[in-house]
Amino acid sequence: MRLIRFGPAGEERPGLQRPDGIIDLREHFRSIPDIGADFFSQGWLEKLRGFEATPRPYSGRLGPPIAMPGKIICLGKNFAEHASEGGFDLPEHPLLFCKTPNTVNGPYDDVLIPSSYGQVDWEVELAVVIGKAGKRITRQQAMGHVAGYMVMNDVSARQAQFAYSQWFRGKSFDTFAPMGPALVTRDEITDIRNLNLSTRVNGVLMQEGNTADMIFPVAEIIEDISQDITLWPGDVISTGTPAGVGIFRDPPITLKAGDLVECSIESVGTIVNRLVDG
């Protein structure tokens, strides 16, 4: 399944994406919750399996596939080539940081350039959506807790990121986590460890990598995080970016108003966001 949320910001409805249109789930299930914690906890993934209805054409806005996740946990330096381009040693343990819910943004919405800090950069990432709560989840159990996957751009204001001894500020400005275009359920992906990722800026290829380059794969990440942090349905884990970010280029390249960033992941989709002054 490809789960979407569609409609104006703040008024999104849950739906299914089909090649020839969308299915408005509220037209068929009046009590269905928005796609988030209650949706997963009430078993709607299972209830919708095999559901079919006639799609209708839709050319309007798509919202972020998850309604206000409780946690957005991100990994730094989780692709070997990306760690190398920054001159970093490979991490011995997953390097975790968080983005806040105000960063959540639609797959085609504008990204706001913060007024106080510059050097805005791109990072295409595979985002994992948790579908089942758990704590101290083993890597053998981990994939059973995954609802599906999205593309996410871990937009980063490098000036703020590097000015402090932590990454919170530079990663958590408004709109800095565009995600989507759909939540692709786990059964739709044949091999999560062999997906190509790429980023284009104004049509120019900047990042190109494969999830095989992850230092810590998805199951190990879930095992590590959940040792002492309970994962809840609707939480998002963004698993790191491949080489090719702007700040480590010679000379560095950073984003300005009007730039168009396209982040793609094989079998998951493409998100496209324009930078505008905030």
Domains contained in the chain, number: 2
CB 181 within 8 A of CB 62: yes
Kindly state whether residues 85 and 112 are assigned to the same domain.
yes
CB 201 within 8 A of CB 207: no
Kindly state whether residues 39 and 160 are assigned to the same domain.
no
Per the structure, the complete domain to which residue 151 belongs is given by: 72-277
Task: Single out the residue in 36, 63, 90 at which a domain terminates.
Answer: 63
Amino acid identity at 252: P
Q: Residue 265 belongs to a domain with what CATH number?
A: 3.90.850.10
Whole-angstrom CA distances from 216 to 9, 26, 41, 57, 225 are: 35, 38, 27, 40, 12
Q: What is the pTM of this model?
A: 0.96
Q: 236: closest CA among 134, 101, 136, 138? A: 101
Kindly state whether residues 104 and 209 are assigned to the same domain.
yes
Kindly state whether residues 37 and 145 are assigned to the same domain.
no
Cα–Cα distance measured from residue 172 to residue 246, given in angstroms and rounded to the nearest whole number: 18
Whole-angstrom CA distances from 20 to 53, 57, 159, 185, 270 are: 12, 7, 43, 19, 17
pLDDT of the chain, 278 residues: tens digit per residue: 999 999 999 999 999 999 999 999 999 999 999 999 999 999 999 999 999 999 999 999 999 999 999 999 999 999 987 777 767 788 899 999 999 999 999 999 999 999 988 899 999 999 999 999 999 999 999 999 999 999 999 999 999 888 877 889 999 999 999 999 999 999 999 999 999 999 999 999 999 999 999 999 999 999 999 999 999 999 999 999 999 999 999 999 999 999 999 999 999 999 999 999 98
Kindly state whether residues 94 and 53 are assigned to the same domain.
no
